A = this chain, B = another copy of it.
Amino acid sequence: MTENRIETSVKDQELIAKRRQQMIKGAISLFKEKGFHRTTTREIAKESGFSIGTLYEYIRTKEDVLFLVCDAIYEQVRKRLEDTIQSDSPSIDNLIFVVKKYFVVMDEMQEEVIIMYQEVKSLKKPAQDYVLQKERDMVNMLKEAIVTCLPDTLTELDAELLANNIFIQGQMWGFRRWILQKRFTLETYVDKQVQFLLSSLAK
Contacts and interface: CB of A to CB of B under 8 A. Distances in A.
A192 B161 contact: yes
B179 A164 contact: yes
A30 interface: no
Interface residues of A, number: 37
A84 interface: no
Contact of A176 (B168, B189, B201): B168
Interface in A140-196: 157-158, 160-162, 164-165, 168-169, 172, 176, 178-180, 183-184, 188-189, 192-193, 196
A37 interface: yes
Given A121-B118, A157-B192, A169 B179 contact: no
Contacts of A201: 199
A89 interface: no
Q: What does DSSP make chain A's interface, helix, strand, loop or mixed?
A: helix
A136 B172 contact: no
Interface of A: 35, 37, 114, 117-118, 121-122, 132, 135-136, 139, 157-158, 160-162, 164-165, 168-169, 172, 176, 178-180, 183-184, 188-189, 192-193, 196-197, 199-202
Q: Which 10 A-B pairs have the closest CB atoms?
A: A200-B200, A37-B37, A196-B200, A199-B200, A161-B192, A118-B118, A168-B172, A118-B121, A136-B179, A132-B178
29 contacts: A35-B121, A37-B37, A37-B122, A114-B121, A117-B117, A117-B118, A118-B118, A135-B179, A157-B184, A157-B188, A157-B192, A158-B192, A160-B183, A161-B196, A162-B196, A164-B179, A164-B180, A165-B165, A165-B169, A165-B193, A165-B196, A168-B168, A168-B172, A196-B200, A197-B200, A199-B199, A199-B200, A199-B201, A200-B200
